[in-house]
Amino acid sequence: MIFAVISGFILAALVPLFSSFARNLIPKIYPFLPLGIFIYLGTCFSQVTQNAPMHWSYNWVPSFGVNLDFRLDGLALLFGMLITGIGTLVFFYSSYYLKEDKYLDRFYGYLSMFMAAMLGLVLSDNLISLFVFWELTSISSFFLIGYKNDDPSSRKSALMALGITGFGGLVLLAGLIWIGFVGGSYSIIELVNSSELIKSHEAYPWIIGLLFIGAFTKSAQFPFHFWLPGAMKAPTPVSTYLHSATMVKAGIYLLARFTPVLGGTDSWNWTLILVGGITMLYAAAHSLFRTDLKSILAYSTISALGILVFLLGVGTEDALLAAGIFILTHALYKATLFLITGIIDHETGTREVTSLGGLQKVMKPVALAGYLAALSSAGVPLFLGFISKEIMYESTFHFSNWAIILTASIVLTKVFLFVAGFWVGIKPFTGNLPQEHAKAKMPSPLLWIPPVFLAGLCVLFGVFPGILDAFMQTVFNSMSPEGEVIHLALWHGLNWVLVLSLLTLGLGFALYKFLKPSQSLKGKLAPFDKFAPIELMERIGITFQSFAGSWTGFFQNGYLRNYVISILIFLTVLAGYRLYDGVDIHLDWSQISDITPSEFLVVVLMVTSIFFALITKTRTGVIVALGIIGLANCLFFLYYSAPDLAMTQFSIDTLTVLLFMLVLFQLPKNRSFSTRKLRVRDGALSLMFGVLISILALEVFEAPSYTEVSEYYAENAYLLAKGKNVVNVILVDFRGIDTLVETVVLVIAAMGVFSLLKLNLNPFNKE
Amino acid sequence: MKSIIFQTASKYLLPLLLLFSVFILLRGHYLPGGGFVGGLMAAIAFILYSFAFGLKETKSIVKLNPRYLMPVGLAVSILAAVSPWLVNLPVMTGLWYDEPLKLIGMVGSSLFFDIGVYLVVIGSTLTIMFSISETI
């Protein structure tokens, strides 16, 4: 199993290698990756549908409870098959759709990476690995959305999508860690057992709040929905893949996955009902104000995601079942609609629904796919959409006191979606063929077979829903472990739900006849743009940027002296406060040994040179004075029997003096630039810092000293490391890794200095 | 600083200091010294020489660009650190010859580790110093 998941990453990593000699082969070979995984999942089908989930476990960081645990149950299998199945079609479709593209090899790399991340996400049973894959989907979708990177608006949308989903991902991480903390395990399947414990824990509202933000950002729920229409800047195959079956459904998957763990409480249900309800109505209504096919699809996708969240919120057994079926239904018809949109765009060069019509004359199979998908989306009997709609209505219809409002809102949503589906799937193909598109021709089979195949599935499952029984049962059971036995049927008897269903169809059809997509309708929305969340988000972004700019400008102002001042003030205030607040300062004279005459002499020498350094007018004088202080320090090390330290200090001091000489020698004569005021300030600061350090040095005696470590080193230096110089043994043996890293740091510093000095940044100095 | 006394002195000081730095490096395991201090001393020897004779002259006697010493030193250190893998021991285990060699003394993986440090220190110090003095 692990191979199935990571093979996508491996293939993605191999792209740069292949593209040098087998560039044209990539689009021909890579589609067999999702196909292979799809077949592999197919072989697991019979075992999983017998309610025996499969398990694979690989250690990753077992000490933190982070493992690659993969678990294939009904829900994972449904998503896995959608990801790889639709993935296969999209991979084949792109090989023709983007045939002339310069970076097609790269595209397949991103796509494989995305698929692998998605697969890992739905298969993970471990919260942390789930999060890792979650973030990988955000990152790889960033590359896919921004694929046309020479287009600034495409880059902007990609950045926005990454910003929103990345933000959500971080919030989700906090939620997941919290769940693991409260529930005592990072394994989802184990958390199901501690469900009651988590629900009664006081952190429960926080946990679900964090989880919701993660899911809502990913699944484009109000008010985070706006990144999704922007993401339509991606090439159509990408939109198909990301928005019908995978990326945006990740949030839904997360909610469905956690339903048995966290679901069933009022706060869980009502939040989801409210957010999902607002999203589905808002987005469905919005889709009618659009004229670009992909825009219509974008909003209808948001609306469908809203429906799913809403259903998970309703949370009854019917509702969960409806959600399970609608995931499949929506993936099938939405992928079809996206794919035919791509074909229309490819063949006519426009996606404006107002200027399209009559295309069935030139591309019959595509038109057929469009009709079938639109009918499934509308929920006409004999289509899969009908069955999911029936169960949806059934679930809201029996929902306690709020049945009427909930049912009414979902009926209204469905009416709007009916129209949106017809606009995309039917409108471009019926009516008269405009002159400018007369030359449009039948596309390659690689383009039209995938949508026709998917549309065929909509009908097949719609006419014989019984074939889905076993599959949907396991999907249902992974959300509701003790759920009853289900049975999908075309005919539910003559009841109110059927009446509502017919009412939806009637209203939808009437609205479709009455309302024509037009630019003027789109214009009516313009005054409200100010209040749209996207505006708000952009304003927050701009404010944040300018704040960051002025903050950085204040602290990172390019003057070394100001950096030093900031650091010293910060240290002095922080440490000074701590000393003032928590430590009582007193001097323990008994700890201090007597002063010998030679020590006294050295101190006098040091103090004299400090004052000399302050007074002298020449640079060389200052350097020499500082050198003397350093060397005097060496003497102290020697007095207290630390010859190693003395030696090192001596060499370092020599080097420092040489370095100063090298640099300062070249500078012009010393002149005083600073005003009296500045000098007083600097003096005061130095004094404060000096006093602080002195106090700290004296306070060290107060703290009990731990000698165990040094004793251990002293005793074992010869026994374990065969060395008599303990300092050196520590450096090269006991703490050898530290030394190794330090030498690396040294190398980095040297390279930094080298590149800073050799890199000629000044444009006037260029030769 | 082209004084004859300084130049003549540094001509003799350079080999002496270099020898001394190797001495410091080798005795490190038993007596004060080690790769870090040894490397610093060797670097000082070269810098002193460049003060007396200028950068060009120094570079011509060093021949090798000091930058190359850094990766070589790092490689030596890392190889010494992982060498115990060869005999199935964890990283950084000290491996030693039983008998001391003439002139050098005890030889073991720690010594090679220290030699790596020595080379890195010379390389990076000289790189920093040379690139500064080249720029101004």
Cα A93 to Cα A449: distance, rounded to the nearest angstrom: 9
Q: Which of A468, A489, A524 marks a domain boundary?
A: A524
A737 touches B at CB < 8 Å: yes
Q: Note whether B120 contacts A647, CB cutoff 8 Å.
A: no
B94 touches A at CB < 8 Å: yes
Helix A127-145 vs helix A204-218: crossing angle, to nearest 10: 30
Residue of chain A minimizing CA distance to B105? A723
A120, part of any domain = no
B55 touches A at CB < 8 Å: no
Q: Which tokens go with B89?
A: 């021991």
B16 touches A at CB < 8 Å: no
CB A137: neighbour CB atoms within 10 A?
25
Q: Note whether A747 contacts B34, CB cutoff 8 Å.
A: no
A724 touches B at CB < 8 Å: yes
Average pLDDT on A201-218 reads 90
Whether A226 and A533 have beta carbons less than 8 Å apart is answered as: yes
Identify which of B34, B77, B128 has the shortest CB distance to residue A740. Answer: B77
Interface test with chain A among B111, B122, B128, by most A beta carbons within 10 Å? B128
Examine the pLDDT at A148 and tell me if it is beyond 50.
yes
Whether A299 and A287 have beta carbons less than 8 Å apart is answered as: yes
CA distances to A63, A616, A631, A647 from A624, rounded to whole Å, are 55, 11, 10, 19
Q: What percent of chain A has a predicted confidence (pLDDT) above 70?
A: 93
pLDDT in tens, A195-209: 888 888 888 889 989
Q: Which of A524, A547, A580 marks a domain boundary?
A: A524
Q: How confident is the model at residue A421 (pLDDT cuts 50, 70, 90)?
A: confident
Cβ contacts of A735 on chain B, cutoff 8 Å: none
A720 touches B at CB < 8 Å: yes
A608 touches B at CB < 8 Å: no
Q: Which tokens go with B126?
A: 């000289």
Distance from the A708 Cα atom to the nearest Cα atom in chain B, whole angstroms? 22
If DSSP codes are grouped into helix, strand and coil, which group holds residue B108?
strand
CA atoms within 13 A on the CB side of A632: 19
Domain residue ranges in chain B: 4-135
Whether A744 and B116 have beta carbons less than 8 Å apart is answered as: no
A319, part of any domain = yes
Q: Note whether B81 contacts A743, CB cutoff 8 Å.
A: no
Average pLDDT on A155-174 reads 88
Cβ contacts of A741 on chain B, cutoff 8 Å: none
Q: Note whether B124 contacts A747, CB cutoff 8 Å.
A: yes
B113 touches A at CB < 8 Å: yes
Examine the pLDDT at A765 and tell me if it is beyond 60.
no
A195 touches B at CB < 8 Å: no
Examine the pLDDT at A586 and tell me if it is beyond 60.
yes
Radius of gyration of chain B (CA): 17
Q: Note whether A725 contacts B132, CB cutoff 8 Å.
A: no
A625, part of any domain = no
A382, part of any domain = yes
A57 DSSP β-pair partners: A69
Distance from the B124 Cα atom to the nearest Cα atom in chain A, whole angstroms? 5
Chain-wide mean pLDDT for chain A?
Answer: 83
Count of domains observed in chain A: 2
Residue A136: which H helix or E strand, with range? helix A127-145
Q: Which tokens go with A352?
A: 């404006």
Distance from the B48 Cα atom to the nearest Cα atom in chain A, whole angstroms? 8
Report residue A101: phi and psi, to 5°: -70, 140
Q: Note whether A651 contacts B116, CB cutoff 8 Å.
A: no
pLDDT in tens, A57-93: 888 877 777 788 888 888 888 898 889 888 898 888 8
Cα A133 to Cα A280: distance, rounded to the nearest angstrom: 27
Q: Note whether B124 contacts A662, CB cutoff 8 Å.
A: no
Q: Note whether A722 contacts B136, CB cutoff 8 Å.
A: no
Higher-confidence residue of A568 and A592: namely: A568
A744 touches B at CB < 8 Å: yes
Q: Provide the number of CB pairs (under 8 Å) joining chain A to chain B.
A: 138
Residue A70: which H helix or E strand, with range? strand A66-72
Examine the pLDDT at A578 and tell me if it is beyond 60.
yes
Q: Which tokens go with A670?
A: 């010393």
Cα A591 to Cα A578: distance, rounded to the nearest angstrom: 23
Q: Angle A334-A340-A342 (CA atoms, 0-180°, nearest 5)? A: 105
Cα B131 to Cα A180: distance, rounded to the nearest angstrom: 53
Average pLDDT on A683-687 reads 90
Report the pLDDT value the prediction gives residue A767, as an integer from 0 to 100.
46
Cα A79 to Cα A118: distance, rounded to the nearest angstrom: 9
Average pLDDT on A9-13 reads 83
Task: With CA atoms as reference, report the closest residue to A340 among A87, A89, A35.
Answer: A89
Lowest mean pLDDT among A141-155, A465-479, A606-620: A465-479
Q: Tell me the residue range of the domain where A487 lies.
A: 264-524
Residue of chain A minimizing CA distance to B114? A732
A292, part of any domain = yes
Q: Angle A101-A104-A108 (CA atoms, 0-180°, nearest 5)? A: 150
Report the pLDDT value the prediction gives residue A585, as an integer from 0 to 100.
66
B74 touches A at CB < 8 Å: yes
pLDDT in tens, A220-253: 888 788 888 888 878 888 888 888 778 888 889 9
Average pLDDT on A712-722 reads 75
pLDDT in tens, A178-194: 988 888 888 888 888 88
Report the pLDDT value the prediction gives residue A296, as an integer from 0 to 100.
87
Which of A599-603, A732-736, B1-5 shows the highest mean pLDDT? Answer: A599-603
Report residue A57: phi and psi, to 5°: -135, 130
Identify which of A661, A727, A750 has the shortest CB distance to residue B127. Answer: A750
A741 touches B at CB < 8 Å: no
Cβ contacts of B128 on chain A, cutoff 8 Å: 749-750, 753-754
Interface test with chain A among B72, B117, B118, B126, by most A beta carbons within 10 Å? B117
pLDDT in tens, B22-35: 988 888 777 877 88
Higher-confidence residue of A277 and A763: namely: A277
pLDDT in tens, B83-111: 888 777 777 677 777 676 666 666 778 88
Q: Which of A484, A506, A524 marks a domain boundary?
A: A524
pLDDT in tens, A93-121: 888 888 777 778 888 888 889 999 999 99
Cα A446 to Cα A237: distance, rounded to the nearest angstrom: 12
Lowest mean pLDDT among A223-232, A353-362, A472-481, A516-525: A516-525
Burial of A328 (0-12, 13-18, 19+ CB in 10 A): buried
A725 touches B at CB < 8 Å: yes
Q: Note whether A725 contacts B32, CB cutoff 8 Å.
A: yes
A398, part of any domain = yes
Cα A703 to Cα A628: distance, rounded to the nearest angstrom: 32
Cα A332 to Cα A195: distance, rounded to the nearest angstrom: 33
Cα A126 to Cα A177: distance, rounded to the nearest angstrom: 11
Cα A146 to Cα A741: distance, rounded to the nearest angstrom: 38
Cα A347 to Cα B126: distance, rounded to the nearest angstrom: 65
Task: With CA atoms as reference, report the closest residue to A91 among A10, A30, A25, A5.
Answer: A30
Cβ contacts of B136 on chain A, cutoff 8 Å: 662-663, 666
Cβ contacts of A661 on chain B, cutoff 8 Å: 51
Identify which of B67, B110, B127 has the shortest CB distance to residue A732. Answer: B110
Burial of A516 (0-12, 13-18, 19+ CB in 10 A): exposed
Q: Which tokens go with A172?
A: 């989700």
Residue of chain A minimizing CA distance to B130? A754
Examine the pLDDT at A587 and tell me if it is beyond 70.
no
Distance from the B3 Cα atom to the nearest Cα atom in chain A, whole angstroms? 16
Cα A122 to Cα A99: distance, rounded to the nearest angstrom: 31
A607 touches B at CB < 8 Å: no
Higher-confidence residue of A586 and A474: namely: A474
A390, part of any domain = yes
Cα A417 to Cα A379: distance, rounded to the nearest angstrom: 10
Task: With CA atoms as reference, report the closest residue to A430 among A366, A350, A519.
Answer: A366
